[in-house]
Structure 1
């Protein structure tokens, strides 16, 4: 989380008096009998980097195209900066769109690519030159102004496409998988460049991505989509630490899911009877449920401890056999097979340099987690 809103500590989505910059009201899009976007409502505030996150076919790109005007709504309403966008064509909306393919003109130089939209709008030559120069400086591409797209790296083409989208000063910039064409290392570096550029301009970004890490790095908030619906909206921390349902828990990052039924439901805790874990899992928060209700407990792998020794006073403790070990450099991943046959994943940071770990294939180990590391999900 790194946009200007978060850095300054201001969170307008928590203020009931704050006015949303973008309002999506009960928007639906159907293609024949198929519903791509299903009654979506969403509020996004000025200066946010808001990420729509979901798998292929979940409706996120269709929703983005409706915001831009490239797709008509079947029903619902889109309001940008207080203006209903119904009937307004793409070229008259206060938006611009950056596509995954970048769509640069191959016969034009970097400078001419950036200037193209301004020339189409009939702006004075002097203003065009000033805006293009400023934008080249912002994306650090001034030294490449005379080059053509084929003479640029993937990251450089990405910055040119971003400059071309921003030079027209849109109120809302829509980005469809903007970093998808870059390799992993370059994508990670470019994420922070994108954040700096957004912070310097204050433009509201709506980013479509299927990459969880990208969404977590870029966004002030995330909307998780599946089957045409937004199933949870929250900050990256809220989405990761407090998933509201099983889909979000399973979709975001890695997670261990323990199936069971509510055995004890107190005012400040729940105990879930879990045969596959061989114990009643203690969770120190209450839920809306009844005794005997089928639920699941989600525990992130990095919140679990693993050792050949006893784990002391941890509330939830299991044991099993190490089936697999993956050394990842900064951490190691252990796949543990419980006596019930269930496989559990544990991530352990490699804090010290060592030629070999004390944990090996076939070892019987103890694993466990603090009560507040787990969260009950009910659907």
Structure 2
């Protein structure tokens, strides 16, 4: 079994001298006149659980298939553990791929499904089944080894497919929407099971998903893709709190965006003038000039709501609760300001009093300048 090498503990991507396990350099993939992947540079480190996140058709699965060897790059290089993969066929690469469909053999037992690849490679039967048993124990299915796939739940079939992919001991496991066929509750439970297995084995995982919550839960780092381009790479908290563009801020979670022009810049604050909200105070950002167009991005949970006007003279607005949604741990609000702008805010129900703000109530909303992320694109 591979030795654990958990990048989540060491964060090698923060170290300038760290050597990447996977290096993608200038990767391009064209299909006739359509460019599916456009000039991608990407370094992934040993032991990472890296997520490629994006909408359908953004190029994430094509990038995964090039790593696996199922698609040939039009331009660029892929290095895995220092070896150029250009002339290495899929079956000779130190990788394995797990598909959303799982593709289990229905006439074989769970044990035989897991051992099948090893037996095809000529491994002695005794050793193949011993390794299969080891992996089934890892995914907590050893008691179901004799069952057929149609006797298992969706989550159990997913774990059989994972065991089959890992039993060959790849250096890199590629997972294309691995939890997409599961219902919401089971998917959430399986996410943590996947993390446990990955950390136990120390195998590098690359997961393709369109589910933002899934990527935020699973990943050591996330690469957000759009139109074949990786728009931002970062740890989940960085992607959420410090998006580098309107696209990333809007794609990850919920955000309020305010367009304006820089009006004044001081060492500790910047003021922008907006058509919808008037003057807004934000944190300063180097390189901005007066009159430059910018956007202020603020997450719903950063707003404060109250029936009484706050003492602050800045970043305070009055509105009416137009709609709200109670979702257990928090309440989400849609607030219509006096000028017609709709604001999304949320509040933890742990902080709610016995007389919570409700529909059609007038409220004051406020936000600290530090809660804003200033965006220029």
TM range (shorter): over 0.9
The residue aligned with 1:4 is 6
Equivalent runs, 1:151-190 vs 2, <5 Å? 151-190=151-190
Shift of 1:344: 0.3
CA RMSD, aligned part only? Answer: 1.4
Cα displacement string for residues 13-43 of structure 1 (whole angstroms, at most 9, x for unaligned residues): 1111111000000000001100000000000
The residue aligned with 1:20 is 20
What SS does the corresponding residue of 1:250 show, helix, strand or coil?
A: helix
Equivalent runs, 1:47-196 vs 2, <5 Å? 47-196=47-196
- Most deviating of 285-294 and 324-333: 285-294
Equivalent runs, 1:238-277 vs 2, <5 Å? 238-277=238-277
Whole-Å separation in 2 of the counterparts to 1:159 and 1:169: 16
Q: Is the 8 A contact 1:277 1:338 kept in 2?
A: no
Shift of 1:198: 0.4
Shift of 1:298: 0.4
Q: Is the 8 A contact 1:223 1:231 kept in 2?
A: yes
Whole-Å separation in 2 of the counterparts to 1:143 and 1:64: 33
Shift of 1:5: 2.4
What SS does the corresponding residue of 2:140 show, helix, strand or coil?
A: coil
The residue aligned with 2:358 is 360
Shift of 1:327: 1.2
What SS does the corresponding residue of 1:79 show, helix, strand or coil?
A: strand
Distance 1:66 1:254, change over 3 A: same
The residue aligned with 2:370 is 372
- Most deviating of 316-325 and 146-155: 316-325
The residue aligned with 2:290 is 291
Cα displacement string for residues 39-70 of structure 1 (whole angstroms, at most 9, x for unaligned residues): 00000000000000001110000000000001
Whole-Å separation in 2 of the counterparts to 1:337 and 1:188: 34
Unaligned runs of 5+ in 1: none
Shift of 1:266: 2.9
Q: Is the 8 A contact 2:6 2:46 kept in 1?
A: no
Cα displacement string for residues 158-206 of structure 1 (whole angstroms, at most 9, x for unaligned residues): 0000000000000000000011111111111100100010011000000
Q: Is the 8 A contact 1:314 1:368 kept in 2?
A: no
The residue aligned with 2:318 is 319
Number of matched residues? 373
TM-score (norm 2): 0.96
Whole-Å separation in 2 of the counterparts to 1:81 and 1:217: 26
Whole-Å separation in 2 of the counterparts to 1:44 and 1:241: 22
Shift of 1:358: 3.3
Shift of 1:353: 7.8
Shift of 1:357: 4.3
Q: Is structure 2 residue 339 aligned with structure 1 residue 351?
A: no
Whole-Å separation in 2 of the counterparts to 1:225 and 1:271: 32
Q: Is the 8 A contact 2:265 2:284 kept in 1?
A: no
What SS does the corresponding residue of 2:169 show, helix, strand or coil?
A: coil
Whole-Å separation in 2 of the counterparts to 1:218 and 1:314: 41
Q: Is the 8 A contact 2:331 2:348 kept in 1?
A: yes
Shift of 1:342: 1.1
Unaligned runs of 5+ in 2: none
Whole-Å separation in 1 of the counterparts to 2:182 and 2:313: 43
What SS does the corresponding residue of 1:64 show, helix, strand or coil?
A: helix
